[in-house]
Amino acid sequence: MRSLKELTRPNIWALKPYSSARDEYSGADASVFLDANENPYNTPNNRYPDPLQRELKSLLAPLKGVKEENIFLGNGSDEAIDLIFRAFCQPGVDNVVAIEPTYGMYKVCAEVNDVEYRPMLLDVYYQMKASALLSAIDEYTKVMFVCSPNNPTGNSMCRKEIDSLLKRFDGLVVVDEAYIDFSDLPSLLADLDKYPNLIVLQTFSKAWGNAAIRLGMAFASPEIIAIFNKIKYPYNVNRLTQEEAIKCLQQPEKVQAWVNTLLEERARVMEEIVKLPCCIRVFPTDANFFLAKVYEATQIYDYLVSEGIIVRNRTNVALCSDCLRITIGTKEENDALLEALSKIEIE
């Protein structure tokens, strides 16, 4: 790996961060806080939240098997993705490489930050080859994005290929594990100490059932996390979000029950949908959604909309022509989908 200094934008490496009142005094002993120009009334929302979300991280760390210094929390994973560009990629100079098709935010963030985005097509099994991604790099390639389980294809990338990438690429490798809770495969978090160039992204938005609170996690070496903390907005995770996440972490068994139900439903829906005349095939998945190849995806999409059922039409995405991405809902919602699809006649 190139040194973190070589990978970081020079202005970011040299940056002295804004120091908030809560940064300068963060002890718990004081009882009179006259340092942050807060209103003394309207407890508890009158006070600025903990800028480093310490209580939340103290609950997350044991659950994830990492140290608190390995955790960055942001306004969704999307904040972490944006910070990766802002910290490491020099606009107009550096580039990033990503699998294709994949989650759309990597490309949008690259474009917002004026960073060249190099998509590398997966094979026909939606698998990636480390050698294919490595063939796209040059000295200005700072980051690679791998999403596993991948959105919109649903499958996990081959672990051997991810390991190969982490060993052979001398820049940063981001592995987006937004759907890892639905997979039987182990998270890369267990190897965080082994790979100093690894950044793992996870989120409260999917299995954790908290898309509305906007809380994403990035796990990496303490040195990388320190760079994120240096450039983030001082109070990037608000108090209501921190509180709600703490409540959520105190009942992980609830999340496991949701996951179990969704996995059962996923098996049932996939089994039923392939029997329908409109469906050509379904693709293997490790997520709470699956990709279905159908006859005339756009017509079926429009028909489902007219029935009040919204799926994601992925027909214009590379390798996904005539594919619909279908999220697993409640049993009733899934039945409504199957019922509507069963009425389609294919001549």
Ligand X SMILES: *Cc1c(COP(=O)(O)O)cnc(C)c1O
Pick one of 8, 203, 210, 221: the residue that binds ligand X (CB under 6 A).
Answer: 203
Question: Are 84 and 173 contacting, i.e. CB atoms less than 8 angstroms apart?
Answer: no
Region label for 262, one of left (φ > 0), alpha (ψ between -120 and 50) or beta (otherwise): alpha
**Minimum distance, C-beta of residue 86 to ligand X, in the bound complex (Å):** 16
**Minimum distance, C-beta of residue 334 to ligand X, in the bound complex (Å):** 20
β-strand pairing of 323-327 with 172-176: unpaired
Pick one of 8, 53, 70, 77: the residue that binds ligand X (CB under 6 A).
Answer: 77
**Minimum distance, C-beta of residue 346 to ligand X, in the bound complex (Å):** 31
Counting contacts by CB under 6 A, is residue 147 touching ligand X? yes
How far, in Å, are 124, 196, 258 from residue 25 at the CA level?
A: 55, 31, 40
Query: Which is closer to ligand X, CB of 148 or CB of 334?
Result: 148
User: Which residue is nearest to ligand X, using beta carbons?
Assistant: 76
Pick one of 78, 82, 94, 265: the residue that binds ligand X (CB under 6 A).
Answer: 78
Question: Are 5 and 79 contacting, i.e. CB atoms less than 8 angstroms apart?
Answer: no
Q: What is the dihedral of CA 298, 177, 288, 255, to 10 degrees?
A: -150
Return the DSSP state at 116.
Answer: E
Counting contacts by CB under 6 A, is residue 162 touching ligand X? no
Stretch that binds ligand X, among 73-81, 183-191, 252-260, 294-302 (CB under 6 A): 73-81
How far, in Å, are 36, 116, 237 from residue 24 at the CA level?
A: 10, 38, 18
Stretch that binds ligand X, among 22-30, 115-123, 203-211, 314-322 (CB under 6 A): 203-211
Counting contacts by CB under 6 A, is residue 178 touching ligand X? yes
Query: Which is closer to ligand X, CB of 88 or CB of 145?
Result: 145
Query: Which is closer to ligand X, CB of 161 or CB of 176?
Result: 176
Rounded to an integer, what is the distance from CA 224 to the centroid of its chain?
17
Start-to-end CA span in the chain (Å): 57
Stretch that binds ligand X, among 39-47, 76-84, 164-172, 332-340 (CB under 6 A): 76-84
Please tell me the count of residues contacting ligand X according to CB under 6 A.
13
- Give the number of other Cβ atoms within 10 Å of residue 165's Cβ: 24
**Minimum distance, C-beta of residue 57 to ligand X, in the bound complex (Å):** 17
Residues 90-129 that bind ligand X (CB under 6 A): 103
DSSP codes joined into one string, 9-47: -HHHHHPPPP--HHHH---S------SS---SSSTTTTS
Stretch that binds ligand X, among 12-20, 72-80, 223-231, 307-315 (CB under 6 A): 72-80
Residues near ligand X (CB under 6 A) are: 76-78, 103, 147, 151, 176, 178, 203, 205-206, 211, 216
